[in-house]
């Protein structure tokens, strides 16, 4: 039995465009893990670049950033979630399948729904964290502590002065 872990899952713009959200959530529910955070997020260039910072030197980096930002699918958004429970990282990675959708097990999410574009972009439908260190880095990049319903990592309260935020017009 593994320890309890958190892992970041993104339904990438191709997954949203292909209306796969329901299918993917159903597949992931096989794991019996808990969703402890979820949102639809706009992906800025900064966020996409930080998310894939370890791939900066790869020849496909620019295309990958455009893909995550939704520029290839005219949907500038992803669905971001944190799954939590025993052995969460490996359980979600196993269902996601291999990075290359052509090599992924055909019953995995990427194998069933992914494709490689003629430009060589792996449109592989979902992201799943690959280890605990990456999971922590990615979860802290995509979510603030108040957006997650369990205490995953140390946090602190601050009184922020002069924070610019958007509120509803009343
Ligand atoms: P994973 O998403 O399985 O963790 P990764 O972190 O190595 O894989 O790469 C991140 C993303 O970059 C991956 O989902 C798709 C893209 N990618 C990786 N290798 C690629 C390649 N050789 N050609 C095109 N895209 C690639
Ligand atoms: Mg990875």
pTM value surpassing 0.85: yes
For ligand 1, say whether the CB of 59 is within 6 Å of any of its atoms: no
Asked if pLDDT for residue 83 goes beyond 60, the answer is yes
Residue 121: count of CB within 10 angstroms of its CB: 16
Which two three-digit tokens encode residue 96?
A: 């996601």
Q: What are phi and psi of 22, to 5 degrees?
A: -60, -45
Assess whether pLDDT exceeds 90 at residue 160: no
d(CA 50, CA 39): 18
Q: Cα separation of 34 and 15, whole Å? A: 21
Contacts of residue 153, defined as CB under 8 A and 6 or more positions apart, other chains included, come to 136, 139, 140, 145
Kindly state the average pLDDT of the residues 150-162.
94
Q: What domains does the chain contain, in order, with CATH numbers? A: 4-147 (3.30.70.141)
Indicate whether residue 122 lines ligand 1 (CB < 6 A).
Answer: yes
- Rounded CA-CA distance 15/123 in Å is 9
Structural contact between residues 94 and 28, judged by C-beta atoms closer than 8 angstroms: no
What are the b/e assignments for 132-156, b being 16+ CB within 10 Å? eeebbbbbeebbeeeebeeebeeee
- What's the helix, strand, coil split of the chain in %, to 5? 35, 20, 45
Residue 8: which pLDDT band, with cuts at 50, 70 and 90? very high
129 CA from centroid of ligand 2 (Å): 6
Residue 54 appears among annotated catalytic residues = no
Pair 85, 9: CB distance under 8 Å: no
Q: Is the pLDDT of residue 2 over 80?
A: no
Give dist(CA 21, CA 24) in Å, integer: 5
Band (74; pLDDT cuts 50, 70, 90)? confident
**Which pLDDT score, from 0 to 100, does residue 1 have?**
55
**How far away, in angstroms, is 117 Cα from ligand 1 center?**
13
The answer, yes or no, to whether residue 159 has pLDDT greater than 70, is yes
Stretch 31-47: mean pLDDT, rounded?
Answer: 98
Query: What share of the chain has pLDDT > 90, as a percent?
Result: 94
Q: In this structure, which residue's CA is closest to atom 16 in ligand 1? A: 122
């Amino acid at each position: 039995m593994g320890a309890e872990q958190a892992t970041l899952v993104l339904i990438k713009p191709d997954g949203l465009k292909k209306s796969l959200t329901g299918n993917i959530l159903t597949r992931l529910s096989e794991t019996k893990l808990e969703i402890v955070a979820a949102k639809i997020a706009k992906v800025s260039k900064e966020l996409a670049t930080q998310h894939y910072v370890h791939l900066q030197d790869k020849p496909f980096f620019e295309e990958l950033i455009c893909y995550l930002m939704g520029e290839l699918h005219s949907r500038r958004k992803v669905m971001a979630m944190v799954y939590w429970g025993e052995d969460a990282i490996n359980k979600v990675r196993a269902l996601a399948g291999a990075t290359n959708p052509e090599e992924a097990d055909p019953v995995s999410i990427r194998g069933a729904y992914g494709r490689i574009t003629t430009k060589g972009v792996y449109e592989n439908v979902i992201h799943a964290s690959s280890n605990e260190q990456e999971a922590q880095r990615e979860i802290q990049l995509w979510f603030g502590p108040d957006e997650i319903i369990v205490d995953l990592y140390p946090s602190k309260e601050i009184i922020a002065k002069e924070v610019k935020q958007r509120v509803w017009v009343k």
